[in-house]
Amino acid sequence: MSVAVSARAPARSRATSEQAAPRAVPRRRVRARRMTAGGAVWVVVLAALLGGIVALNVAALRDSIDVNRLQAHAEQLQNDNRLLRNQVTSLSSPASIGAAAQKLGMIPADPNTTRYVQLHRSRPKAKLRP
């Protein structure tokens, strides 16, 4: 007697097949999102705000440079004023005035022949009362 062998593979039990090969979860396809009108508006608004911030920073930097330049100019003018005050003080001393007068040909007055004129003061008038 011959026993016929079937050409099929032996049947596996259901529990064994589930454990051996887990089912693959189907992947979701990620669609490329198109930029909506609302998204474009937000991009424009943010770009405008950032541009405004950059413009303000540039303006502040320019003003800072101008302030530094003006402070340096004011300091230079103060130094010039100090030098001029010193020059006025030295030129207004009696010795320098006398030397400048002698250069112009003036001579000092003789104190023995010098006379003074006295002017009579008039008395102040009384105020009229109403």
Residue-level pLDDT, tens digit, the chain, 130 residues: 555 555 565 555 555 555 556 677 677 776 666 667 788 899 999 999 999 999 999 999 999 999 999 999 999 999 999 999 999 999 999 999 999 999 999 998 888 988 888 887 776 666 666 6
Q: Which residues contact 108 (CB under 8 A, 6 or more apart)?
A: 98
Torsions phi, psi for 87 (to 5 deg): -65, -40
8, two tokens? 């099929």
As a whole number of angstroms, the distance between CA 100 and CA 94 comes to 10
